[in-house]
């Protein structure tokens, strides 16, 4: 059966759906706290203990403002994430800062949906850019790559740069691990993929809006606490601990990718509502 990210199912009452989940998983009736200073410090300490070397990243706020103006969000994309634009555009800026695409690169925006990133990156850098999403028609249609990101219809070494902005957490079951196996095939040696935000936490958890996930029969990691966020309108958002990330991805990709992890120190200087705190870049060996 083909996976459908947002199936046409009837929403349930939030409280009824939360109760249904609690029959199978440890449940919290609120969203996860991954941005408060105490939570971030606890997570960073756990990362150091687990051998994830976090590099501190201070955002150049003026450079972000220039990027925002040059990208023409207001002029070309006035309806894009109106209520969450600072966070989304900051994610795009950070990925661009780390990846540094040029006209010699082929870039894929993975789980792109309706993101303007491919057009912006191609216009600003000259990189040949593609949008990929499971919701697009199968195959390559212009600059769209449709179908499962874990089985892209492209040749080996097709791309040199890729990004997942607010995307990796939505890969359910073993799809996150499968994605990195596929990225090893799709990226040329030396190619890079940026994940921002990297949803890292001091407890293994998954955030969900059970009004959506329960009628869609979404399954969750047995080891995770399930955080039920009313009105979140997403069915699955995995939060890794340093240990679970190593177990699910980093250790499986040992010798295939080098991982560089970042802690963003001043996202609130861009906007108090931003929530990116961690990110990583994986370089294909």
The angle that helices 85-99 and 61-71 make with each other, rounded to 10 degrees, is: 100
Q: What is 53-198+249-284's CATH number? A: 3.40.50.150
Strands (E), 134-272: 139-141, 144-146, 159-165, 187-196, 205-208, 225-228, 237-239, 257-264
pLDDT digits (tens, 9 = 90+) for 45-93: 999 999 999 999 999 999 999 999 999 999 999 999 999 999 999 999 9
71 φ, ψ to 5°?
-70, -20
For range 136-150, the mean pLDDT = 97
Name the token pair of 174.
Answer: 């073993």
Closest by CA to 198, choosing from 270, 78, 266, 280, is: 280
The pLDDT of residue 4 is: 57
The pLDDT of residue 6 is: 61
For range 270-277, the mean pLDDT = 98
What is the pairing mode between strands 27-28 and 225-228? parallel
pLDDT digits (tens, 9 = 90+) for 16-37: 999 999 999 999 999 999 999 9
Q: Where are the domains of the chain?
A: 53-198+249-284
pLDDT digits (tens, 9 = 90+) for 213-255: 999 999 999 999 999 999 999 999 999 999 999 999 999 999 9
The pLDDT of residue 9 is: 74
In whole angstroms, give the CA distance from residue 22 to residue 16. 10
The pTM score is 0.96
205-208, strands of its sheet edge to edge: 27-28, 225-228, 205-208, 237-239
Residue 260: which pLDDT band, with cuts at 50, 70 and 90? very high
Residue 106: which pLDDT band, with cuts at 50, 70 and 90? very high
pLDDT digits (tens, 9 = 90+) for 186-216: 999 999 999 999 999 999 999 999 999 999 9
The pLDDT of residue 1 is: 42
Residue 129: which pLDDT band, with cuts at 50, 70 and 90? very high
Bigger pLDDT: 240 or 1?
A: 240
For range 98-126, the mean pLDDT = 98
Q: How far is CA 112 from the centre of its chain?
A: 10
The yes-or-no verdict on residue 2 having pLDDT over 60 is no
Percent over 90 (pLDDT), the chain: 96
In whole angstroms, give the CA distance from residue 87 to residue 80. 12
Closest by CA to 239, choosing from 225, 228, 251, is: 225
């Amino acid at each position: 059966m083909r996976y459908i990210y947002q199936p046409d199912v009837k929403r349930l009452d939030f409280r009824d759906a939360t109760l249904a989940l609690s029959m199978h998983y440890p449940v919290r009736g609120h969203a996860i706290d991954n941005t408060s200073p105490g939570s971030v410090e606890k997570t960073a300490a756990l990362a150091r203990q687990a051998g994830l070397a976090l590099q501190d990243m201070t955002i150049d706020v003026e450079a972000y403002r220039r990027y925002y103006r040059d990208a023409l969000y207001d002029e070309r994309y006035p309806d894009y994430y109106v209520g969450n634009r600072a966070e989304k555009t900051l994610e795009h800026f950070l990925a661009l800062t780390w990846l540094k695409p040029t006209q010699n690169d082929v870039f894929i925006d993975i789980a792109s949906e309706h993101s303007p990133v491919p057009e912006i990156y191609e216009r600003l850098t000259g990189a040949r850019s593609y949008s990929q999403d499971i919701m697009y028609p199968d195959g390559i249609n212009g600059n769209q790559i449709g179908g499962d990101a874990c089985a892209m219809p492209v040749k080996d070494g097709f791309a040199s740069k890729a990004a997942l902005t607010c995307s990796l957490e939505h890969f359910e079951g073993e799809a996150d691990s499968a994605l990195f196996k596929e990225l090893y095939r799709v990226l040329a040696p030396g190619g890079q993929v940026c994940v921002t935000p990297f949803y890292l936490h001091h407890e293994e958890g998954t955030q969900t809006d059970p009004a959506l996930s329960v009628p869609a029969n979404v399954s969750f990691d047995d080891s995770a606490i399930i955080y039920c966020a009313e009105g979140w309108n997403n069915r699955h958002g995995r939060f890794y601990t340093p240990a679970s990330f190593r177990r699910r991805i980093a250790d499986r990709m040992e010798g295939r990718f080098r991982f560089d992890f970042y802690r963003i120190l001043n996202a609130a200087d861009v906007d108090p509502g931003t929530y990116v705190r961690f990110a990583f870049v994986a370089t294909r060996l």
